Copies of this chain bind each other. A is one copy, B any other.
Amino acid sequence: MKKNKPKYTQIIDAAVKVIAENGYHSSQVSKIAKQAGVADGTIYLYFKNKEDILVSLFQQKMGNFIQKIEEETNSQQTAVEKLLKLIEKHFEQLTADHHLAIVTQLELRQSNKELRLKINEVLKRYLTVIDQIIEEGIQDEIFRNDIDKRLVRQMIFGTLDEAVTNWVMKEQHYDLVEQAGAVHDMIVRGLTYR
């Protein structure tokens, strides 16, 4: 499998850096090749084109992240605790990788319809993890069952995403992870019975 070859990851990591620093539209494949220390032609052994690099890097990073999140949340007892872990990991992961945070919050917001649909298919894997936590909270009668689950997911993801984008726009200069508790608290209060 191509994806297990070290050069695949090497190109992906180079792409994250180049795209974060130059923006997607100004990141020529040759720039990514140079950063990765491979010949231009080598890139095309692994990727069809620049679009494919963008979608693949999101896929790869998301795959790793989801695996981590599932391990972490499975060790938690309740939906409320799982949601806290998810928020913490979301903020920690992006704090740990300065370039990846710029890519997820600014560069993956492409408006080209075809490309955006591919990006959103990858995002869906994460939204499904959120959906499972919501579902569990409702089953266990911790979360209210009188709100549309899609709206609940949109509130959770929308809140996290907006908090992260604000932090990225502010050059990541304050501590995001430290706010996980407060964000969790606001969300959970909106979802539970009084």
Contact = CB atoms under 8 A, between A and B. Distances in A.
A91 interface: no
Interface residues of A, number: 37
A166 B182 contact: no
Contacts of A189: 189-191, 194
A147 B107 contact: no
Contacts of A148: 179, 182
B163 A162 contact: no
Interface stretch (A38-46, A47-55, A109-117): A109-117
Give the residue among A24, A150, A166, A188 with the most B Cβ atoms within 10 A: A166
A157 interface: yes
Interface of A: 23-25, 106-107, 109, 111-112, 116, 120, 147-148, 150-152, 154-155, 157-163, 166, 169, 179, 182-183, 185-191, 194
